[in-house]
């Protein structure tokens, strides 16, 4: 069998991504095309997910997310490798609750951390059933906006994210799995703890040579001043930081 490298994209709405190909940057348009050479699976809502591996393509045929350019860029860097992209993201969720590796104390809340781990297990089995070896090669994390709104969430972000990375690496059976964290930068009112979240991310990266941050402060936002605009260069920015994925 062959060796399949799986890159995970996870987080909240900016990870979900919904840019129409007509509005992305001119240089990004080629990356909007489906790529049958790269396996792909996603879960972005209870009703929007793949059942089994498919090939890399815009969700719904028109929704361009960061994983499109990421997949093409990784393929160019490692043309002889079997590549796969797994996206697990949901709108409006926090690390303090829905993504909390210890679970969320609020009843009825989505348990995304447990969900991602189960997704990893299920899709690893599908690859292995084809006779391939599955290797989780990297995590791209695009999240933090929801935790920027309350100080009690922001102050615990560094410790929770450190635990999140450790636990996901353990589940991936890859203790050195590279991680790229996007320094999301909403400028709308109410996001009062951007710097505290960024500080936590920077400290994690300073303590772990396999973790990097990608600045987003200069990237254009939509009119809500929260979400990246379609003509943002977010995928390229993240890939420049994460291209060391083996």
Tell me the DSSP string of 191-218: -TTHHHHHHHHHHHHHH-TTEEEEE-TT
Q: What number is the average pLDDT over the span 151-178?
A: 97
Express each pLDDT in 197-218 by its tens digit: 999 999 999 999 999 998 877 7
Express each pLDDT in 34-78 by its tens digit: 889 999 999 998 888 999 999 988 877 666 678 877 887 778 877
Q: Which residue has the higher pLDDT, 206 or 107?
A: 206
Q: What number is the average pLDDT over the span 139-143?
A: 94
Q: Quick check: 143 pLDDT over 80? A: yes
Q: If you average pLDDT over every residue of the chain, what do you get?
A: 86
Sort residue 173 into left (φ over 0), alpha (ψ -120 to 50) or beta: left
**pTM for this structure?**
0.90
Q: Quick check: 234 pLDDT over 60? A: no
For 178, the token pair is 């590279």
Q: Which of 83-87, 105-109, 240-244 has the lowest mean pLDDT?
A: 240-244
Query: pLDDT over 90 for what percent of the chain?
Result: 55
Q: Quick check: 244 pLDDT over 50? A: no
Cβ burial of 107 (10 Å; 0-12, 13-18, 19+) is exposed
Give the model's pLDDT for residue 243.
Answer: 43
Which residues sit opposite 140 in a β-bridge? 9, 180
Q: What number is the average pLDDT over the span 98-125?
A: 91
Give the model's pLDDT for residue 238.
Answer: 57
Q: Which residue has the higher pLDDT, 109 or 21?
A: 109
Only one residue has tokens 């240089």, namely 27
CA distances to 78, 119, 164, 245 from 75, in Å: 5, 23, 27, 11
Express each pLDDT in 12-32 by its tens digit: 988 887 677 777 777 777 778
Give the model's pLDDT for residue 43.
Answer: 93
Give the model's pLDDT for residue 108.
Answer: 72
């Amino acid at each position: 069998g062959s060796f399949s490298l799986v890159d995970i994209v996870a987080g909240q709405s900016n990870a979900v991504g919904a840019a129409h190909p007509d509005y992305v940057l001119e240089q990004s348009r080629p990356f909007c095309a489906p790529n049958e050479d790269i396996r792909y699976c996603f879960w972005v809502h209870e009703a929007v997910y793949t059942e089994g591996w498919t090939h890399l393509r815009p969700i719904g045929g028109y929704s361009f997310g960061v994983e499109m350019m990421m997949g093409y860029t990784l393929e160019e860097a490692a043309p002889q490798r079997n590549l796969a992209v797994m996206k697990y993201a949901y709108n409006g969720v926090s690390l303090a609750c829905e993504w909390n590796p210890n679970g969320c104390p609020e009843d009825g809340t989505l348990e995304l951390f447990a969900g991602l781990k189960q997704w990893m297990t299920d899709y690893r089995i599908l690859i292995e059933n084809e006779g391939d070896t599955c290797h989780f090669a990297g995590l791209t994390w695009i999240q933090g906006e929801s935790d920027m709104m309350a100080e009690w969430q922001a102050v615990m972000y560094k410790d929770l994210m450190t635990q999140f990375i450790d636990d996901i690496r353990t589940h991936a059976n890859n203790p050195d799995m590279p991680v790229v964290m996007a320094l999301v930068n909403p400028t709308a009112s109410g996001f009062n703890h951007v710097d505290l979240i960024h500080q936590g991310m920077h400290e994690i990266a300073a303590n772990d040579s396999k973790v990097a941050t990608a600045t987003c402060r200069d990237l254009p936002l939509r009119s809500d001043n929260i979400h990246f605009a379609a003509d943002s260069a977010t995928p390229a920015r993240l890939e420049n930081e994460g291209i060391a994925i083996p």
